[in-house]
């Protein structure tokens, strides 16, 4: 009886593959209101790459990615009348073209979903009737609702990748904190008991066609392929 595949074991939801809640210090979200907020502390969250800052507005505590150039005790402004300064939060309609921003909302009020990794930043390209066009870190262009909020500046921690990991175990523990398993082993490099593509006298590419109704985790290879084998050349 072969073992269950790794994707099957992950789907079971056992503690080995579950993300521990203590590594996530809280949900990142923008305040609903506007005003002046004080940065109480800047700290590292094990489950995230970017440094986090805790702000307090109207007696409530919020967590946001920390921008480059702010420190504990500084104040940031939230609202349409805020100045274009690092850490201030404004709607996209109030941010001039060419400004660097991060933690962008996909829809107004969702708290920020895009550009949240350390050292990442996007740029406001243009504004028109369709919305606000931004250039994302991947150099792709995307149109946003003008009412979506964003933070001015660049996320801190940009030099994270400059220090080499040196050891494989270092990367293992970094990804482990985010509930990601590393290293990733190809199915063809496994034994037959571990994966349908495993085994053989050498490591070579294996082909397999599985049914559409196969249980989750067994769907490896060509799923419900219409054609199998070599293509027949048509003779004219």
What's the mean pLDDT in 77-106?
93
Question: Got the DSSP string for 72-108?
Answer: TT-EEEESTT--S-TT-EEEGGGSPTT-EEESB-SST
What backbone torsions phi and psi does residue 178 show, to the nearest 5 degrees?
Answer: -105, 15
Residues in the chain, overall count: 236
Summarize pLDDT for 92-139 with one digit per residue, the tens. Answer: 999 999 999 999 999 998 989 999 999 999 999 999 999 999 999 999
More confident residue, 102 or 17: 102
With a cut of 70, say whether residue 73 has pLDDT above it: yes
79, 34 Cβ separation under 8 angstroms:
yes
Per-residue confidence (pLDDT) for residue 14, from 0 to 100: 77
CB-based contacts of 69, cutoff 8 Å, min separation 6: 86, 87, 153
> Residues 169-182: pLDDT tens digits?
999 888 887 777 78
Using one digit for the tens of pLDDT, what is the confidence trace for 173-220?
888 877 777 888 888 888 888 888 888 888 888 878 889 998 777 788
Looking at residue 1, its pLDDT comes to 56
- Residues 110, 23: Cα–Cα separation, whole Å: 22
Can 1-18+179-225 and 21-160 be said to share one CATH topology?
no
Q: Yes or no: say if 155 and 44 are a contact pair by the CB < 8 Å rule.
A: no
Q: What is the pLDDT of residue 221?
A: 84
Handedness of CA 110, 114, 117, 120 (dihedral sign): negative
Question: What gap in Å lies between CA 225 and CA 172, rounded to an integer?
Answer: 36
Percent residues over pLDDT 90 in the chain: 45
User: Is pLDDT above 60 for 46?
Assistant: yes
For residue 229, what are its two tokens? 């084998």
**Tens-digit pLDDT profile for residues 21-33:** 778 888 899 988 8
Task: Give, in order, the Cα–Cα distances in Å from 211 to each of 163, 199, 205.
Answer: 46, 22, 20
Mean pLDDT along residues 64-68: 93
Non-local CB neighbours of 89 within 8 Å, separated by 6+ positions: 30, 64, 76, 77, 78, 79, 82, 149, 150, 151, 152
What's the CATH number for 1-18+179-225?
4.10.950
**Residue 2 pLDDT exceeds 70:** no
The CA–CA distances, whole Å, from 227 to 223, 230, 232 equal 11, 9, 11
Domain positions in the chain? 1-18+179-225, 21-160
pLDDT of 20 over the 80 cut: no
On whether the CB atoms of residues 88 and 77 are closer than 8 A, the answer is yes
Mention the CATH class of domain 21-160: mainly beta
Q: For the whole model, what pTM was predicted?
A: 0.77
CA pair distance 209, 3, nearest whole angstrom: 19
């Amino acid at each position: 009886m072969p073992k269950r595949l790794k994707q099957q074991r992950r789907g079971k939801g056992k503690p080995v593959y579950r993300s521990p809640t203590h590594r996530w210090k809280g949900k990142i979200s923008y305040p609903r209101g506007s005003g002046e907020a004080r940065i109480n502390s800047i700290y590292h969250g094990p489950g995230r790459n970017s440094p986090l800052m805790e702000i307090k507005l109207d007696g409530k505590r919020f967590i946001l990615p920390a921008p480059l150039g702010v420190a504990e005790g500084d104040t940031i402004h939230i609202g349409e009348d805020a100045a274009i300064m690092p850490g201030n939060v404004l709607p996209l309609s109030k941010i001039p073209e060419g400004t660097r921003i991060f933690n962008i909302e996909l829809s107004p009020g969702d708290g920020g979903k895009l550009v949240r990794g350390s050292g990442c930043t996007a740029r406001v390209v243009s504004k028109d009737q369709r919305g606000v066009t931004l250039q994302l870190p991947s150099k792709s262009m995307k149109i946003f609702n003008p009412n979506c909020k964003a933070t001015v500046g660049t996320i801190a921690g940009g030099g994270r990748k400059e220090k080499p990991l040196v050891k494989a175990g270092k990367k293992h523990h970094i990804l482990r904190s985010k509930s990601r398993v590393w290293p990733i082993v190809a199915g063809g490099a496994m034994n037959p008991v571990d994966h349908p593509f495993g085994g053989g006298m050498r490591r070579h590419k294996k082909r397999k066609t599985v049914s559409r109704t196969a249980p989750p985790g067994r769907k490896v290879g060509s799923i419900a392929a219409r054609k199998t084998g070599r293509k027949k050349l048509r003779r004219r």
